[in-house]
Structure formats: structure tokens, C-alpha cells
Amino acid sequence: MAGDYIPWVKGLSKRREVLLMAAILGVDRRLVACSCMELWEWADSEGVFDESRNCHVTGVTRNALNALCDTPKFIDAMISVGWLTGDTVETHWIFPRLGRWVGSSAKERLSNAERQRRYRAKRNEGRDIRVTCNGDKVTARREEKSIKNPLPLFTIEELVALWNITPGVRKVREINEERKRLFRTRWKEEAFREGYGLALKKFPLRCFADVEAWQPDLDWFLRKGKVIKILEGTYDWTKPGAAPTKKEPKLKQIPIPPRPRPLLPPESADNGSGGTSLPPPVDPRQANPDGSDTT
């Protein structure tokens, strides 16, 4: 039957009473603990419990109880530690408070405790836990013990280490809270987790003829959709048919007019050498202040 059992007392073989009985009888403490459990099992079946949870057994002599435990003077040792009392006739034995541990009420308490435990576990499954701290109510979500699809372990420190050895980027000097938040958001995206390594291999980006004209930083890389655009070649303008997202301004060419030829004075004449002779230049030091010629 379901009720035909007694619970084993936790730590019974190390209780002070068991150690004293083992010293008195000169036997192992584990043997004393097993003998006690066997005697209590018999008393639970043959005895009667009163209102104080004491178990009364009548009609059995001391020698019969010693034979039941298969240990001489076992009853004397049990009486010396207070776990058994008897009258002068030694046919009425009392096990103090035995019903508290092995009686039907004890079994009922164990069953109720187990039932309450299962009920609380089922009720609290997936629900919030309310915690009170200094009068303030805080709601904390119960963490699931098993996660079906856990994210791969990767930290922002590892990403920064890869970023700082990538050519054509601005090196990271500080990992602040904003960058941590961006990293946690991007790491939840499957496209970022699977493509960030391939995207880093495409650096330096060929956005301009001069590679050092523009170097992205980590904040730019952690923006939404940047990894996909890098893999699709949006920032590689060297591919045939690729057009830059921002065209460089072209300089407007202004035509330069030809230089006019100098005009010759009408009084110039041929000097006999095939060329034209020009009048000698006038020295301003030989001119009068009023501008008239001195000759």
C-alpha cells in the first residue's frame, strides 16, 4: 500500500544519540541507525499513537525487542539516549514523539509538502516574480532554465580586437555604453552574426581613389544594414557598372581666349634686313616736366 513506509531521517547516522549508542554498544554507527529505523518501522505498525504523537507498544518484553534489533542491550542503549521509555513491568514501551516523524500524520505532512511543491512549480512556470526591496516593488522575469536556441558567445571586446587589425578603419580607443548597446542589438540579427567576418575582409572600402580619404569607425559599422550593404558592394565603386552614392564635384572648365598680336605703328619702315624697325624707346629722364620734347 502507498502508506506502508516510514521516511528516513536525514543525517540519522550522524545524530548525537546514534553516536552515543554506537559507543555504548561498540558497533558501527550505520548499524545503529539501520536498527533504529527497523525498530521504528515495527512500532509504527504495532503501536498506538496518542494526542502527543507518542507511540505506545504493549505486551513485548525487553529481550524480545533486543532480538528484534539483533543486537544485545540495544534497548538499554536506546533508553539511555531518551529515545525509548518503559514501565516497571517492562511490557509497556513508549517511543516519544515517534508520530511526528513516522506516523500517519507525518506521512500526510510529507504528501502535502510534495503536492504544494509541485503546485507552486507549475504555477510559477513562466510567470513574473515580485520582489520587494525597501518597500519598492520590483518585477523580475523568471529566467528559463533551458534555452532552445542560445546565441553564440561573442563579446564586443572580441569584435574590437578584430576591428583594430582591419585596414582602412579608425581604431577604437574606448568601449562605451552606447557601443555596447549597439553591439547587443546587432548581435541579435542573424544577418550580422553570419556576415560581419566577411564584411571585415572587404576593408579598406574603395569609396574614393584615395583609400585614406575616408575611414569608417565602429559606430558606422554597427549601424543597421551596414554589413549587408558592404557585402552587396555598395561601398565598392571600383566594380564595373557601380556608381558612387555621392559623386565628387567636377571643376568647370573655362576656355582661355588666344593672346592678341601687337599692332605696328604706321610710320615703321623696312630697315633693309627683311624686318620692320620700331622707333627707339623714349627715356622719361630726357623729357621736360611739362611734357615737351627737348630737341
Contacts of 58 (CB under 8 A, 6+ apart): 91, 92, 93
Q: Give span(s): CATH 1.10.10, the chain.
A: 12-105
What average pLDDT does the segment 226-254 reach?
69
The pLDDT, as a whole number, for residue 105 is 54
Name the amino acid, one letter, at 146.
Answer: S
Segment 117-166, tens digit of pLDDT: 777 777 776 555 555 555 555 555 544 444 456 677 889 999 999 999 99
d(Cα 234, Cα 211) in Å, to the nearest integer? 16
Residue where the block lists cell 515517534: 98
The pLDDT, as a whole number, for residue 110 is 60
The CATH architecture of the domain made up of 12-105 is: Orthogonal Bundle (1.10)
Q: What share of the chain is helix, strand, coil (3-state, %, to 5)?
A: 40, 10, 50
pTM: 0.36
d(Cα 267, Cα 264) in Å, to the nearest integer? 9
